[in-house]
Structure 1
């Protein structure tokens, strides 16, 4: 099974690395891509902190070397799509190729996982009409502008929202339940047999 993970400079570190590693743990092949970059190119992640300020603060995260080339995507090969948060969605939502990829997954009713600011790309792609979803609270207007219904969870919440093929969450504290629901949508069943993990 292959999953496509959209990323770019200043993707939120936790919302990028944690889902990638969770999927790899289940022997799912994760292709991490960024428009106009190829396998071997680096992207810079960031870490967001909720502190005493009126908005979050940002610090550099771990750099990451892309493992797949955006131009080489064969969209029909993928069982699902993951879009993390951070700042990369605010500029990639203007990339028509990215929007076309998102529309493909919704047209085919394939699993899509988005968290935090990732919803900005879905709103720009026009796939939220008539749907309910969660996102970082500052993205509520993006959801509404895209025709969706915003589901509020506190930023510290460990909650995710599922609407059809879409699983969404407000921020990185929810990564565990967010990925659990996405993995369910992929149809992956996990069981322990004689203390060994099988999928």
Structure 2
């Protein structure tokens, strides 16, 4: 099984690496791609965090990530699901029609899609949120509403997620564990304990 993961410069470090490792643990092949970058190119990640007394989050450099796949070479029919992390890359990739077409492909086929934090900006821009509910970073609420969706707001980022059909979303990286659990269920992978 293969999962496509969208990325770009300033992707949230933990929201990139944690899903890759969780899916690899289950022997799911994850292809991380970025428009206009090819295999061997690097995506620069960032780490965001809230500091008391500040009105917005701070940003620090994260770990560099070397792409093993080229966006231009992907065959969407090869993938069972799509993962969209957050960070700042969604704010510019939501203007890339190629990225929006990728998202539309997965929704048109009701394939599993997960989006965390600012990843919902890409969903909103792609037009797939009509009559859907989702969560995301609280500053993305207007994007979701403008995209025709209903925003599910949480007081806490930790362990809060929302599932609407083939879509699982969450406000931020503290919920990555529960998002991955639900995304893996949507992929149809059974884990025996």
Q: If the length of structure 1 is used for normalisation, what is the TM-score?
A: 0.95
3-state SS of the aligned residue for 2:153? coil
Structure 2: tracts of 5 or more residues without a match: none
1:45 and 2:38 are equivalent in the alignment: no
3-state SS of the aligned residue for 1:191? coil
Q: Which moved more, 1:116-125 or 1:147-156?
A: 147-156
* RMSD (CA atoms): 0.7
Aligned to 1:145: 146
Aligned to 2:24: 24
1:50-99 deviation digits (Å, cap 9, x = unpaired): 11210100000000000101011000000000000000000000101000
Structure 1: tracts of 5 or more residues without a match: 193-199
Aligned to 1:184: 185
Aligned to 1:135: 136
Q: Distance in 2 between matches of 1:91 and 1:156?
A: 24
Aligned to 1:7: 7
Q: If the length of structure 2 is used for normalisation, what is the TM-score?
A: 0.98
Aligned to 1:196: none
3-state SS of the aligned residue for 1:157? coil
1:117 and 2:118 are equivalent in the alignment: yes
Tell me, yes or no, if the aligned pair for 1:137 and 1:155 is still in contact at 8 Å: no
Q: Distance in 2 between matches of 1:140 and 1:50?
A: 18
3-state SS of the aligned residue for 2:100? helix
Tell me, yes or no, if the aligned pair for 1:136 and 1:155 is still in contact at 8 Å: no
- Aligned pairs for 1:38-117 within 5 A: 38-52=38-52, 53-117=54-118
1:18-56 deviation digits (Å, cap 9, x = unpaired): 001100110000000000001110010000011121010
